[in-house]
Structure 1
Amino acid sequence: MSIVQTIKSNERLKKFVHWCLIPKHQARPRLWVQWFVNPFFHKKGKGSTVCHRTRMDVLPFQPFSLGNYSTIEDFATVNNGVGPVHIGNNSRIGIGNVIIGPVNIGNNVILAQNIVLSGLNHVYTDIQTPIYLQPVTTATITIEDDCWIGANAVLTAGVTIGKHSVVAGGAVVTKNIPPYSVAVGNPARVIKQYNAETQQWENVGK
């Protein structure tokens, strides 16, 4: 049995290891994890930048990767506690973004300011138990290559934004957006799509 399997199979040992990595009731890893452990587990590409005031709540037991020449701006938060976070090449994570895995972001993606991507949901169905003590569910958010997500947008767990699509500022995406589309509103709906035959962006019916 591997060390990881041994830890997972022993609840007391699992809790102790978790405490060693993260202070109780916190999401941010301890400094020794940030400085001496994460660099050996996580991938940071050539020319990529994580700005000084970014909050990186990333842990070694889940993957995190940042592609070549990509940037995570100040005041953003990245959390891989319950699911991996992968960011491709030449992508920009804007000021104040919150990214909670599992999340996959492609290449050449622009995320504007104060966007929330959360692949996590809390179970709330047991009314005798506080919600924070109930289990969580996860579903991967995927943003394909060449997308632009406007400021203050929210992407909910499990949605996919198709290649070269635009999500307008303030939109709340609860369903998949097809490639080459423009989506607006709450809940987000597609209002334009690119027609390959006419080579034009065309309005979609109301």
Structure 2
Amino acid sequence: MKKLLLDLCSKLEGRGIHEIIDRLKLYYRYLITVLFYKPFIGEMGKKTVIYSPIRFTGLKFIYLGAKVTIFDGARIEVVDRYGNQRFSPCLKIGEGTSINQNCHITCAEEIVIGMNVLITANVTITDIIHPYDDINVPISRQPLITKKVYIGDETCIYQNAVILPGAKIGKHCIIGANSVVNIQVPDYSVVVGNPARIVRQYNQMLQSWEKIYQ
């Protein structure tokens, strides 16, 4: 604790009041993360900070790399049982990834989010399907179907996008705002729309981004 305080004092030296307040808030949230989240999470790297999630369940099935940030209002639910069903879920979030305000992640099988991924506000990511086959049983009570989700390193997912079960997104991709993705997206691609479609890809030979006409 003494080392942490000395480190804080050295970093605050010469800074303005607003910057000092922001830095103090960050250190406070880091302290809360270490004391109240880290003991219960499956694995957590250094300098990871969790702000104030609305809901955060199944912590022992969550594996966070170093320098992960989960901002206010996130709803992260890792499900190991649903009615009579039992699951062995795994949510992995790589180093340097940022999950912004009001994101909703639900996982009952496996969701892997790579390193240095930016997930902006109001994004939904799920590996869970609620079937509706039996009209005599409420949809919310029918057995879940799951499909793994993968999001590659350095990808940016913009506001209100929905990443559905079975989606596999490559490295360094752009997922446009309001997109709904349930496809496989190659590395270095730009995806937009509902349903999502690829509109640009990086051509390694020409070393340039090219339009894709679909």
> Which structure 1 residue ranges, 5 or more long, are not aligned?
1-34
Quick one: which amino acid aligns to residue 66 of structure 2? N
Deviation at 1:133, TM superposition (A): 1.8
1:161-202: CA deviations, max 9, x gaps?
A: 111110000101121111100000000100000001110011
* Residues 52 and 74 in structure 2, CA contact (< 8 A), matched pair in contact too: no
Q: 1:100 aligns with which of 94, 106, 131?
A: 106
Matched residue of 2:201: which SS? Answer: strand
Structure 2: how far apart are the matches of 1:175 and 1:53?
Answer: 29
Are 2:115 and 1:117 equivalent residues in the alignment? Answer: no
Percent sequence identity over aligned pairs = 35
* Residues 54 and 73 in structure 1, CA contact (< 8 A), matched pair in contact too: no
* Residues 69 and 89 in structure 1, CA contact (< 8 A), matched pair in contact too: yes
What are the equivalent positions in structure 2 for 1:132-171 lying under 5 Å apart?
A: 132-171=140-179
Deviation at 1:55, TM superposition (A): 2.4
Structure 2: how far apart are the matches of 1:153 and 1:41?
Answer: 27
What are the equivalent positions in structure 2 for 1:1-206 lying under 5 Å apart?
A: 39-40=39-40, 42-60=42-60, 63-82=61-80, 83-101=89-107, 102-206=110-214
Structure 2: how far apart are the matches of 1:36 and 1:94?
Answer: 20
* Residues 106 and 146 in structure 1, CA contact (< 8 A), matched pair in contact too: yes
Deviation at 1:66, TM superposition (A): 1.0
Deviation at 1:36, TM superposition (A): 8.6
* Residues 193 and 201 in structure 1, CA contact (< 8 A), matched pair in contact too: yes
Structure 2: how far apart are the matches of 1:55 and 1:177?
Answer: 30
1:17-76: CA deviations, max 9, x gaps?
A: xxxxxxxxxxxxxxxxxx99982551111000111345212244xx21111001011001
Report the TM-score, using the length of structure 2 for normalisation.
0.75
Matched residue of 2:185: which SS? Answer: coil
Deviation at 1:136, TM superposition (A): 0.3
Quick one: which amino acid aligns to residue 114 of structure 1? N
> Which structure 2 residue ranges, 5 or more long, are not aligned?
1-34, 81-88
Matched residue of 1:132: which SS? Answer: helix
Deviation at 1:134, TM superposition (A): 1.3
When the two structures are aligned, how many residues end up with a matched partner?
170
Matched residue of 1:117: which SS? Answer: strand
Report the TM-score, using the length of structure 1 for normalisation.
0.78
Structure 2: how far apart are the matches of 1:41 and 1:169?
Answer: 31
Displacement over 4 Å in runs of 4+? 35-38
Structure 2: how far apart are the matches of 1:128 and 1:53?
Answer: 35
Matched residue of 2:39: which SS? Answer: helix
Alpha-carbon spacing, 1:174–1:85, altered in 2? closer, same or farther (3 Å): same
Alpha-carbon spacing, 1:38–1:135, altered in 2? closer, same or farther (3 Å): farther
